[in-house]
């Protein structure tokens, strides 16, 4: 099932969507895992990754949740940069490959 692109954009058909199975689709899906705090969703309390604001990013948890909730991809790299440009922000970058079925 295609998903609405975030941030929301519009095209001639209405909401711009990402086609299921594309790199952009999986990139957004994995980003949602990183942006969701565990215990947020009552039906999937394990979904998400801990907010890195006051602790380091749990790379193992991200890889575990990616394999659990997005089994079509395999994480090939995950890196973090803390306090990038003295902004107090943490930059998280990941790469993945789509598994062939």
74 bridge partner residues = 97
Q: Which residues span the domain enclosing 16?
A: 3-98
Name which of 40, 33, 29 is nearest 58 in CA terms. Answer: 33
- The alpha carbon dihedral of 20, 79, 59, 77 has a sign of positive
Looking at residue 80, what is its pLDDT?
Answer: 82
Distance in angstroms (rounded) separating the CA atoms of residues 16 and 5: 6
Q: Please give the chain's pLDDT, 101 residues, in tens.
A: 899 998 899 999 899 999 999 999 999 988 888 888 888 888 888 887 776 666 677 788 888 888 888 899 999 998 887 766 677 677 788 999 998 76
Any long-range contacts for 62-68 (C-beta under 8 Å, 24+ apart)?
62/33, 62/34, 62/94, 65/33, 66/30, 66/33, 66/96
Number of domains in the chain: 1
Kindly list the distances between the CA atom of residue 77 and the CA atoms of 11, 28, 30, 91, 97, in Å, as whole numbers in the listed order.
Answer: 33, 16, 13, 14, 10
């Amino acid at each position: 099932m295609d998903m609405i692109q975030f941030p929301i954009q519009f095209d001639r058909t209405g909401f711009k969507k990402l086609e299921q199975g594309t790199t952009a689709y999986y990139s957004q899906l994995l980003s949602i895992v990183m942006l969701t705090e565990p215990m947020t969703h009552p039906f999937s309390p394990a979904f998400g990754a801990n907010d890195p604001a006051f602790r380091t990013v749990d790379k193992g948890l991200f890889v575990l949740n990616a394999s659990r909730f997005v089994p079509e991809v395999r994480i090939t790299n995950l890196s973090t940069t803390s306090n990038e440009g003295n902004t107090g922000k943490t930059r998280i970058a990941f790469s993945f490959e789509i598994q062939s079925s």
